[in-house]
Copies of this chain bind each other. A is one copy, B any other.
Amino acid sequence: MTPDPLTATFAALADPTRRAILARLASGQASVTDLAQPFDMSLPAVSKHLKVLERAGLIARERKAQWRPCRIEAAPLQDVSDWVEEYREIWEQRLDRLGEYLRELQETGAESAGKIHEMKEKKSGRKKRNHR
């Protein structure tokens, strides 16, 4: 059973090495040897990761050139962005609630500060009267 495209994309992204390969390809094409270097991985291990990325449509490999460079393909990433965008309202509501809570804290804080100031004033007033 072939997974739906979004499932294949998420499964391909569920690996830190594959995400690092994508990050590297975001700055330009690279060969398998180039990609293997920073990870201290064998070429077959890197090739395996590249196959997963390729099957998910996240990378494409040049057929013409001898060194078969890999390049990033943006379409599935845009699908991920579109999918997650649907939930933006939820985390923005959460941030709004957090902001509200902090404002409340500040107001209560300001009130408490006001009361403390008032108490101090009264105290010093009393002191002043005592000093008279």
Interface-forming stretch among A14-22, A40-48, A111-119? A14-22
With known contacts A81-B85, A85-B81, A14–B19 Cβ distance under 8 A = no
Q: Give a binary string over A1-22; 1 marks a CB under 8 Å from any B CB, 0 the rest.
A: 0011011101101111001001
Q: How far is the CA of A119 from the CA of B83 in the complex (A)?
A: 51
Number of interface residues of A (CB under 8 A): 32
By a beta-carbon cutoff of 8 Å, the part of chain A in contact with chain B is 3-4, 6-8, 10-11, 13-16, 19, 22-23, 26, 72, 74-75, 77-78, 80-81, 83-88, 90-91, 93-94
Instruction: List, sorted by A's number, 7 A–B pairs whose CB atoms are closer than 8 Å.
Output: A4-B16, A7-B15, A7-B16, A8-B14, A11-B14, A80-B84, A81-B84
Given A7-B16, A10-B10, output 9 extra A-B contacts at Cβ < 8 Å: A3-B14, A7-B14, A19-B83, A22-B87, A23-B86, A74-B91, A74-B93, A81-B84, A81-B88
